């Protein structure tokens, strides 16, 4: 597709993600009611981490106890980006402003707290984020940003440390090839099986009769109606449903329903792999990001976690699992990536890179002599939503007819630019607060947002405002930014001296 056209619907024959290799039997093909309800108080469109978070915070809030909640999913539950990502839940600290970095730390804590409280079987592991830089330029930029963070927020800066080029011993402790130009270590990261986390939340809510879930029910369009209560009407192949509030958790597919966001949240197809580790190797100690490897492009980075090993059930001492969940490689793509909404193909250029690169970047150990590439269990693609100003869009949807007003009952939470896992949980909670505050009679959207920002429940820069829309439209397009070296390169030209970066060093962090 072309980037000046709205996104399409999710395709029906998606590539096979490893995370879907153990599908949730209760939710697969699930429809809580045989027929699509004609009306609901709140309709959530999308069932990834954003949609699941919105649903769980609604269910936990007494103000929503009498509200009917329906979740619509175009495919199966968690079949989009969350079910196709890298399994990271890692805050980025030095390449963010302190308010955004602190918000990401809170998000990781919120995810871990839920997993601990409910004993969610999703392979959660608390790890250190280890990012290696393969050009002197990229590492020097990271060092400068760490220094700026130390001036702006010492507590956040204390979570970040540096390994300089030449410190081969320390690099090898973290299993990084000493040829790297430098490494940053960030405390407070996590990794998980994201599909199992999301489906646990959704299944629990369905079994407790808190939500009505309708899978394989794509929304073709949304129309604002004259009905004073059920203001939004959603059309699906199975009929129509009217709602008082609609919350779009559609990320890369947002512009299919909101044409006004066609150039603000752009779908980008990215690639992941599940690779068998070398025989005899031990599990890597960290989660990893690799910036600028091989071609020096600092905006197209790679990301890696490793699953746990398990003893074989046949008792022969064989180890199973340990998959190296490795994503990225977009610089090596043979097909167009930007503006694409079909995740049914695997790009051979990216796939080849992902199979061979880890043997050069890391000290994988084990039996690697003569090995040129790792064997893949699965290779697949997923659709990210790249935000034009590199920040999520959270709040009430602007009216497409009046530039100074907002749509009644239509809300958005998406555009994470590949960094949704450490953002979406509390972004979803913020939208829930907006909706329920309005339900309680506070129709002043600006005052609701002001309170959320004051309470540090959402960064100001994430909120949907008319001023932000105007500013974003003044930026280079996602395509132009990508061609220029990414949003970081564009933003750095506008950054004042000693001002902390408001954007990441790179965009591809976890899908």
Mean pLDDT over all residues of the chain?
92
DSSP letters along 445-465, please?
A: HHHHHHHHHHTTSS-GGGB--
Q: What's the mean pLDDT in 480-508?
A: 49
- Shared-domain flag, residues 179 and 273: yes
Q: What is the number of structural domains in the chain?
A: 2
Please check whether residue 359 lies inside any domain of the structure.
yes
Q: Are 276 and 78 in contact (CB under 8 A)?
A: no
Phi, psi of 182 (to 5 degrees): 165, 165
Q: Which tens digit of pLDDT belongs to each residue from 459-489? A: 999 999 999 999 999 999 999 988 887 544 4
Q: Which tens digit of pLDDT belongs to each residue from 306-360? A: 999 998 766 666 789 999 999 999 999 999 999 999 999 999 999 999 999 999 9
- Shared-domain flag, residues 304 and 396: no
- CA–CA separation, 57 and 320 (whole Å): 36
Please check whether residue 363 lies inside any domain of the structure.
yes
**Where residue 67 sits, what CATH number does that domain have?**
3.50.50.60
Phi, psi of 253 (to 5 degrees): -95, 5
- Shared-domain flag, residues 283 and 367: yes
Please check whether residue 351 lies inside any domain of the structure.
yes
Q: Which tens digit of pLDDT belongs to each residue from 188-228? A: 999 999 999 999 999 999 999 999 999 999 999 999 988 77
Domain end position, chosen among 329, 353, 384? 384
Task: Write down the pLDDT at residue 313.
Answer: 64
Please check whether residue 67 lies inside any domain of the structure.
yes
pLDDT tier, 510 (very low <50, low <70, confident <90, very high otherwise): low
Domain end position, chosen among 442, 459, 474? 474
| Domain encompassing residue 370 | 125-187+267-384
User: Whats the size of the chain, residue-wise?
Assistant: 511
- Shared-domain flag, residues 380 and 392: no
- Shared-domain flag, residues 255 and 273: no
- pTM reported for the whole predicted model: 0.94
Nearest of 403, 404, 465 to residue 434 by alpha carbon: 465
**Where residue 281 sits, what CATH number does that domain have?**
3.30.9.10
- Shared-domain flag, residues 342 and 201: no
Q: Are 301 and 290 in contact (CB under 8 A)?
A: yes
Please check whether residue 228 lies inside any domain of the structure.
yes
Please check whether residue 56 lies inside any domain of the structure.
yes
Q: Is residue 506 over pLDDT 50? A: no
- Shared-domain flag, residues 177 and 296: yes
Task: Write down the pLDDT at residue 324.
Answer: 98
Task: Write down the pLDDT at residue 492.
Answer: 38
- The continuous run of DSSP H or E covering 424 comes out as helix 424-439
Q: What's the mean pLDDT in 44-73?
A: 98
- Shared-domain flag, residues 248 and 280: no
- CA–CA separation, 463 and 408 (whole Å): 17
Q: Are strands 319-321 and 309-311 parallel, antiparallel or unpaired?
A: antiparallel
- Shared-domain flag, residues 454 and 311: no
Q: Which tens digit of pLDDT belongs to each residue from 258-315? A: 999 999 999 999 999 999 999 999 999 999 999 999 876 777 789 999 999 998 766 6
- Percent pLDDT > 70 in the chain is 92
- CA–CA separation, 69 and 245 (whole Å): 10
Cβ neighbours, 10 Å, residue 30? 18
Angle at 322 between CA 321 and CA 327, to 5 degrees: 115
DSSP 391: S
- Shared-domain flag, residues 177 and 208: no
Task: Write down the pLDDT at residue 407.
Answer: 85
Q: What's the mean pLDDT in 221-249?
A: 94
- Shared-domain flag, residues 380 and 396: no
- CA–CA separation, 508 and 104 (whole Å): 16
Please check whether residue 225 lies inside any domain of the structure.
yes
Handedness of CA 209, 50, 243, 240 (dihedral sign): negative
Task: Write down the pLDDT at residue 296.
Answer: 65
- Shared-domain flag, residues 172 and 242: no
Domain end position, chosen among 364, 384, 404? 384
Q: Is residue 27 over pLDDT 60? A: yes
Q: Which tens digit of pLDDT belongs to each residue from 366-415? A: 999 999 999 999 999 999 999 999 999 999 999 876 667 788 899 999 99
Please check whether residue 491 lies inside any domain of the structure.
no
Q: Are 445 and 396 in contact (CB under 8 A)?
A: yes
- CA–CA separation, 280 and 252 (whole Å): 40
CB-count burial class (<10 Å; 0-12, 13-18, 19+) for 494: exposed
């Amino acid at each position: 597709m072309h980037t000046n056209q709205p996104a399409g619907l999710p395709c029906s024959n998606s590539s096979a993600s490893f995370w879907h290799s153990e599908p949730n039997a209760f939710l697969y093909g699930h429809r809580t009611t045989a027929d699509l309800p004609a009306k609901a108080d709140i309709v959530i469109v999308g069932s990834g981490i954003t949609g699941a978070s919105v649903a769980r915070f609604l269910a936990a809030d007494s103000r929503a106890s009498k509200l009917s909640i329906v979740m619509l999913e175009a495919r199966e539950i968690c079949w989009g980006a969350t079910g196709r990502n890298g399994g990271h839940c890692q805050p980025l600290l030095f390449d963010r402003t302190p308010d955004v970095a602190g918000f990401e730390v809170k998000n990781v804590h919120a995810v871990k707290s839920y997993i601990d409280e409910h004993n969610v079987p999703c392979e959660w592991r608390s790890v250190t984020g280890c990012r290696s830089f393969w050009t002197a330029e990229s590492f020097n930029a990271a060092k400068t940003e760490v220094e700026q963070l130390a001036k702006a927020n010492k507590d956040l800066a204390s979570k970040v440390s540096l390994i300089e080029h030449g410190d081969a011993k320390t690099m090898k402790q973290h299993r990084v090839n000493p040829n790297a130009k430098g490494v940053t270590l960030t405390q407070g990261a996590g990794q998980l099986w994201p599909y199992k986390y999301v489906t646990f939340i959704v299944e629990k809510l369905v079994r407790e009769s808190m939500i009505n879930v309708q899978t394989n029910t794509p929304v073709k369009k949304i129309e604002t109606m004259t009905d004073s209560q059920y203001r939004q009407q959603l059309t699906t192949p199975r009929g129509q449903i009217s709602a008082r509030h609609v919350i779009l958790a559609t990320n890369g597919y947002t512009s299919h329903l909101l044409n006004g966001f066609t150039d603000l949240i752009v779908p980008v197809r990215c690639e992941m792999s599940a690779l068998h580790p070398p025989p005899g190797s031990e599990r890597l100690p960290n989660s990893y990001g690799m910036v600028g490897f091989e071609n020096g492009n600092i905006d197209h980075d790679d990301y890696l976690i490793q699953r746990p090993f398990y003893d074989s059930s046949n008792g022969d001492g064989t180890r199973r699992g340990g998959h190296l969940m490795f994503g990225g490689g977009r610089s090596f793509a043979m097909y167009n990536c930007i503006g694409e909404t079909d995740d049914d193909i695997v790009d051979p250029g990216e796939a080849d890179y992902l199979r061979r690169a880890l043997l050069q970047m890391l000290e994988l150990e084990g039996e690697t002599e003569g090995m040129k590439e790792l064997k893949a269990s699965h290779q697949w693609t997923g659709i990210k939503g790249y935000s034009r100003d590199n920040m999520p869009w959270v709040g009430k949807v602007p009216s497409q007819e009046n530039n100074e007003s907002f749509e009644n009952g239509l809300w958005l939470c998406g555009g994470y630019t590949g960094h949704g896992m450490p953002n979406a949980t509390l972004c979803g909670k913020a939208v829930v607060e907006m909706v329920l505050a309005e339900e309680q009679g506070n129709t002043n959207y600006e005052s609701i947002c002001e309170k959320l920002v004051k309470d540090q429940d959402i960064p100001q820069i994430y909120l949907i405002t008319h001023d932000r829309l105007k500013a974003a439209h003044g930026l280079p397009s996602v395509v132009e930014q990508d061609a220029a070296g990414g949003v970081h390169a564009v933003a750095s030209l506008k950054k004042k001296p000693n001002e902390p970066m408001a954007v990441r060093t790179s965009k591809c962090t976890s899908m």
